[in-house]
Amino acid sequence: MTNEKPLLEMKDLHVGFRIGDEFYDAVDGVSINLQKNEILAIVGESGCGKSTLATTIMGLHNPLNTKIEGHIQYQGKELVGMNEADYNKIRGNDIGMIFQDPLASLNPLMTIGAQIDEALYYHTDMNAEQRTARVLELLEQVGIPNPKRTFKQYPHELSGGMRQRIVIAIALSCKPPIIIADEPTTALDVTIQAQILDLLNEIQAETGSGIILITHDLGVVAETADRVAVMYGGQFVEVAPVEELFTNPKHPYTRSLLKSNPQSSDEGGDLHVIDGTVPPLTKMPRTGCRFAPRIPWIEASAHEANPVMHEVSAGHFVRCTCHETFYFEGETN
């Protein structure tokens, strides 16, 4: 990657949620950077900590039942522990977020125009006329066919694909240097998915923003990302440039994900199924290789007692030594 100073820097980030009287880490020791002009994809199964990481960057957790430790730095500012008033100046203006469920994140009682205008009113010194012009420009930019009509409509009057475009328009309104896209295509059909991904690529090319793309769809990752971080049990288990990850995956979890992807499996062959599930937070092993219980045929001695990230080639990092001896059950070791 470039030697430029990162847009966003996370170091040893821990995010714990209160369950009963204890805090359990959903994000456990994450360290990663986001560069300008980069699309960083974060992939993994449901429950691995992807969305928790996104909402932590945005400062959206209730401090009464969340414990956050470590560092998130944006342009020299430490976001962990920042007060709400200062965070409000950053949300939307410096870091925009495209939420997973547009219907849930849009206000059903406000018009589309008013909702996009809100961030401009809060973060800019534009007058009402300038803000309206900017909202119409944004609606056109995200591919809304009749911006003036949509300006006056309410969320329930729009299709899922249109609502997702509105959420993108809100995230882009102040031209933030960082955009977090949390499963931006999950509930959309494949045609609309492709349009949304093309839109993200266009935005990134035009503004030079850094994008964190959170998804479980490996096809989306292959088409869109520059670099990929694979997450399991609240930790990154592999980080690599996108082409390197798909051509030379190392970690057993990454290899299992790729093998279980319908698009990459042998035609007519059985789809690979990863044994077991991601354990709940209260039962997540906090020592040893967290993926070990799901590959029980691998010798215990192949795993590190306290797995760390190893750089196996330039920019390619893998957690634990188990990748060196891993094979799929039923195959010859």
Alpha-carbon gap, residue 294 to 237, rounded angstroms: 14
Q: Residue 260: pLDDT band by 50, 70, 90 thresholds?
A: confident
How far is it, in rounded angstroms, from Cα 264 to Cα 90? 40
In which band, very low, low, confident or very high, does the pLDDT at 333 lie, cut at 50, 70 and 90? low
Per DSSP, 243 falls in state: H
Strands 316-319 and 235-241, sheet pairing: antiparallel
- Which among 220, 116, 118 is positioned nearest to 158, based on CA atoms? 116
Q: Is the pLDDT of residue 42 over 80?
A: yes
| CA–CA gap between residue 100 and residue 91 (Å, rounded) | 17
Q: Which two tokens stand for residue 59?
A: 């400062």
- How confident is the model at residue 138, as a pLDDT? 95
**Which of the two residues, 68 and 142, has the higher pLDDT score?**
68
Banded pLDDT at 119 (limits 50, 70, 90): very high
Looking at domain 8-94+176-248, what is its CATH homologous superfamily? Answer: P-loop containing nucleotide triphosphate hydrolases (3.40.50.300)
**Per-residue pLDDT reduced to its tens digit, 204-224:** 888 889 999 999 888 889 989
DSSP at 325 = T
Residue range 305-330: average pLDDT?
95
In whole angstroms, give the CA distance from residue 13 to residue 287.
Answer: 17
**pLDDT recorded at residue 1:** 47
The band of 332, judged by pLDDT with boundaries at 50, 70 and 90, is: low
Point out the least confidently predicted range of 130-144, 159-173, 256-270. 256-270
248-263 average pLDDT score? 90
- Tell me the whole-structure pTM to 2 decimals: 0.93
Sheet strand arrangement including 22-34: 22-34, 8-19, 66-74, 77-78
Tell me, what's the pLDDT at 202? 85
Pairing verdict, β 95-98 and 210-215: unpaired
Q: What is the pLDDT of residue 67?
A: 97
pLDDT score of 271 more than 90:
no
For a pLDDT cut of 90, what percent of the chain falls above it?
A: 76
Separation of alpha carbons 204 and 200, rounded Å: 6
- Position 124 scores a pLDDT of 95
Domain residues of the chain, as ranges? 8-94+176-248
How many angstroms separate the Cα of 93 from the Cα of each of 85, 89, 125, 298, 315? 13, 7, 12, 48, 31
pLDDT at 268: 54
**Residue 330 vs residue 80, higher pLDDT:** 80
Are the CB atoms for 76 and 248 separated by under 8 Å? no
Give the other-Cβ count within 10 Å of 49's Cβ: 24
Nearest to 39 by CA among 7, 78, 76: 7
User: Is the pLDDT reported for residue 199 higher than 60?
Assistant: yes
Per-residue model confidence (pLDDT) at position 264: 55
Nearest-angstrom CA–CA distance, 88 and 122: 9
